Amino acid sequence: MADQAMEELPEEVTGWIGKERYHEEGEFPVERGYIWTTCSSVENGNPIFWDDEVAEEITDGPIAMPTMISLWFRPHLWAPGRTKQAQPLQVHFDLKETLGLPEAIMSDNTIVFGEPVRPGDRLKTCQILHVVSDPKTTKLGTGRFWEIEVRYENQDGDFVGAEHYTGFGYKRPE
Amino acid sequence: MSENHALLTVDQVEAGASIPELSYDVTATTVVLGALASRDFRPMHHDRDFAQIRNGVQDIFLNTPNQAAWFERYLTDWTGPKGRLGRIKFRMKDSVFPGETMTFSGKVEQVSTDETGCAWVDLAVNLSVGERQVTDCSARIAVPKDESDNPWKRKNEQWKP
């Protein structure tokens, strides 16, 4: 399986490039508890997150920290009826499995922010694989780089953000 | 704790200027709280044995989404509540572990106004631990042109991050 990473890309993987996959809606609506917990975790006292009057004046009501965008799609660790642990960024895990690369890191992450995300929003997402590199060897091991875009929109179809990840899936040296 | 009552307007910003540093003493609680706040349940962010044995690092370490939240807090501490992030890019070179003091520093690279009249500040931001460079970040944040302006009111074609 590991040798597959050194060969040409499997057709299955080339077929994923440029395609929107994993269209899904978040498992729960955007909620303020996570907003406050995240602000608390980084001691962010920005009053648009804590003071409703300020939020009304500046952001037309409460919003989430923009950098929380991926949080709304991180699945519950357990949910009724779920037999397999759900993974965020499934395309990344698909690549690891299909290319036989057991380890992976994310090296670059770009986030673009659109309309603010608000409590009660039901966000939707999809994932797009843009590029998979030829085999490369780094100090971590030998594998491939890939670029994945995750797009987000709200229940009204407004663009609320996109993330671009560069990942490196690899096999450790023997 | 940041109070965020600054009200930065673009006329107060010059290319080449540094913005105030932020230093923070990281504990295991910082790492675990940050991971769970971002719903990141992966064990390297809460299980030291896993981090050491599987990842080959000294301890649990700050996760990526929480680093993004730290960058946002750092930038909006500087701009105040009307600062609106348009874009952020970061490259992680190393990790932040409990017991370390992380420091955020930033420098204004460019000040501009786009075709819609939105004022933008582009910054290079760095997260370091002592002499160790941990994460390089570039950020683009909209700030008010004057006290009456508010980038958060921009929608659709008026918002080009």
Summarised one tens digit per residue, pLDDT across range B29-74 is: 999 999 999 999 999 999 999 999 988 999 999 999 999 999 999 9
In angstroms, the CA A68 to CA B85 distance is 12
Q: Which residues contact B133 (CB under 8 A, 6 or more apart)?
A: B93, B94, B126
Instruction: Encode pLDDT of A118-132 as tens digits.
Output: 999 999 999 999 999
Residues on chain B touching A114 (C-beta within 8 angstroms): 159, 161
Displacement of CA A51 from its chain's centroid (Å): 29
Average pLDDT for chain B: 95
Residues on chain B touching A27 (C-beta within 8 angstroms): none
Q: Which residues contact A171 (CB under 8 A, 6 or more apart)?
A: A2, A5, A100, A101, A102, A103, A141, A142, A143
Q: Tell me which residue of A153, A142, A147 sits closest to A131, measured CA to CA.
A: A147
- Region of A46 on the Ramachandran plot (φ > 0 left; ψ -120 to 50 alpha; else beta): beta
Residues on chain B touching A113 (C-beta within 8 angstroms): 84-87, 161
Q: How many CB pairs under 8 A join A and B?
A: 115
**Is residue B95 domain-resident?**
yes
Q: How confident is the model at residue A106 (pLDDT cuts 50, 70, 90)?
A: confident
Quick check: A67 and B65 CB within 8 A?
yes
ipTM of the complex: 0.95
Which tokens in the block code for residue A150?
């995750």
Per the CB < 8 A criterion, the answer to whether B49 and A77 are in contact is: no
In the CATH hierarchy, which fold is given to the domain comprising A2-30+75-171?
Thiol Ester Dehydrase; Chain A (3.10.129)
- Which range is least confidently modeled, A4-8, B20-24, B96-100, B130-134? A4-8
**Is residue B2 domain-resident?**
no
Which residue is it, tokens 């590029």? A131
Q: What's the structural domain count of chain B?
A: 1
**Is residue B137 domain-resident?**
yes
Of B66, B88, B150, the CB nearest to A41: B66
Q: What is the dihedral of CA B50, B135, A71, A15, to 10 degrees?
A: -90
Return the percentage of chain B with pLDDT > 70, whole number.
Answer: 97
Instruction: Encode pLDDT of A72-103 as tens digits.
Output: 999 898 899 888 777 778 899 999 999 999 99
Q: How confident is the model at residue A107 (pLDDT cuts 50, 70, 90)?
A: confident
Q: Touching check for B23 and chain A: CB below 8 Å?
A: no
- The CATH number of whichever domain residue B42 belongs to comes to 3.10.129.10
Length of chain B measured in residues: 161
Amino acid at B120: W
Q: How confident is the model at residue A143 (pLDDT cuts 50, 70, 90)?
A: very high
Domain that residue B85 falls in: 10-158
H/E stretch holding B84:
strand B84-92
Of A38, A47, A110, the CB nearest to B38: A38
Shortest alpha-carbon distance between residue B29 and chain A (Å): 9
Quick check: B73 and A113 CB within 8 A?
no
Residues on chain B touching A36 (C-beta within 8 angstroms): none
Helix locations, B23-62, DSSP H: 28-37, 48-53
Q: Where are the domains of chain A?
A: 2-30+75-171
Amino acid at B83: G
Which tokens in the block code for residue A121?
């929003």
Q: Tell me which residue of A118, A162, A90, A160 sits closest to A29, measured CA to CA.
A: A118
Q: Touching check for B40 and chain A: CB below 8 Å?
A: yes
Of B2, B39, B86, the CB nearest to A71: B39
In angstroms, the CA A21 to CA A130 distance is 12
User: What pLDDT was estimated at residue A6?
Assistant: 54
